[in-house]
Amino acid sequence: MYRPVKSRKAEEIIKDIQDEYQQSHTTPWIIGFSGGKDSTVLLTLTWIAIRRLKDDGFNAERHVYVVCNDTLVENPIITNYIEVVLADIEMEAIKQDMPISVIQTTPELHETFWTNVIGKGYPVPNNSFRWCTDRLKIKPTASFLHKQVSDKGKAIVLLGTRYSESTSRKQSMKKYERKNHRLSKHSTSIGTMVYAPIKSLEFEEVWFIINTVQSPWGFDNKILFDIYMEASADDYECPTVVTNKSHKSCGQSRFGCWTCTVVQEDKSMKAMVDSKYSWLKPLLELRNDLQSERNVSKNRSTTRRNGMPAISEEGDNFGNYTFEYRQSVLSRLLKNQYQLKEQGHETQLITTQELSAIQVSWDRDGFISPRVIDISNSILGNHSTELNHSLINEVLDEDSAILIPQLLTIQKNKSIMIKKIGLVNDIDKALEKHLNK
Query: Which pLDDT value is given to residue 250?
Result: 45
Query: Does 271 reside within a domain?
Result: no
Query: Which pLDDT value is given to residue 295?
Result: 95
378 and 412 co-located in one domain:
no
pLDDT tens across 21-53, in order?
A: 999 888 999 999 999 999 999 999 999 999 999
**Do 226 and 210 touch, CB atoms closer than 8 A?**
no
pLDDT tens across 101-114, in order?
A: 999 999 999 999 99
| Residues contacting residue 82 through CB under 8 Å, at least 6 positions apart | 35, 68, 70, 74
Total count of domains within the chain: 3
Query: Which pLDDT value is given to residue 168?
Result: 80
| Alpha-carbon span 37 to 227, nearest angstrom | 11
Say how many residues make up the chain. Answer: 437
111 and 186 co-located in one domain:
yes
Average pLDDT over every residue of 96-101: 96
Query: Does 248 reside within a domain?
Result: no
Q: Which domain holds residue 92?
A: 8-220
pLDDT tens across 161-219, in order?
A: 998 888 887 887 777 777 778 898 877 767 789 999 999 999 999 999 999 999 999 99
Query: Which runs of consecutive H residues, i.e. helices, occur in 179-245?
Result: 203-212, 221-230
17 and 50 co-located in one domain:
yes
Short-list 198, 232, 154, 183, CA closest to 45: 198
Count the Cβ atoms, other than its own, within 10 Å of residue 385: 12
Pick from 192, 220, 248: which residue ends a domain?
A: 220
Cα angle 95, 99, 102; round to 5: 80
Cα dihedral across residues 126, 127, 129, 130: positive or negative? positive
16 and 85 co-located in one domain:
yes
DSSP class of residue 171?
H
Short-list 225, 221, 271, 235, CA closest to 75: 271
41 and 177 co-located in one domain:
yes
| Alpha-carbon span 250 to 237, nearest angstrom | 8
Query: Does 311 reside within a domain?
Result: yes
Short-list 42, 12, 390, 23, CA closest to 216: 42
386 and 413 co-located in one domain:
no
| Alpha-carbon span 173 to 41, nearest angstrom | 19
The highest-confidence range among 129-133, 145-149, 233-237, 330-334, by mean pLDDT, is: 330-334
DSSP class of residue 74?
B
CATH number at residue 55: 3.40.50.620
| Alpha-carbon span 46 to 35, nearest angstrom | 15
Query: Which runs of consecutive H residues, i.e. helices, occur in 275-368?
Result: 281-292, 323-342, 352-364
Query: Does 172 reside within a domain?
Result: yes
104 and 58 co-located in one domain:
yes
Query: Does 320 reside within a domain?
Result: yes
Query: Does 252 reside within a domain?
Result: no
Pick from 205, 220, 235: which residue ends a domain?
A: 220
Q: Is the pLDDT of residue 12 over 80?
A: yes
185 and 62 co-located in one domain:
yes
Query: Does 237 reside within a domain?
Result: no
Cα angle 85, 137, 103; round to 5: 40
pLDDT band at 70 (very low <50, low <70, confident <90, very high): very high
| Residues contacting residue 152 through CB under 8 Å, at least 6 positions apart | 26, 27, 28
Bridge partners of 157, per DSSP, are 30, 194
Q: Is the pLDDT of residue 397 over 80?
A: no
Query: Does 187 reside within a domain?
Result: yes
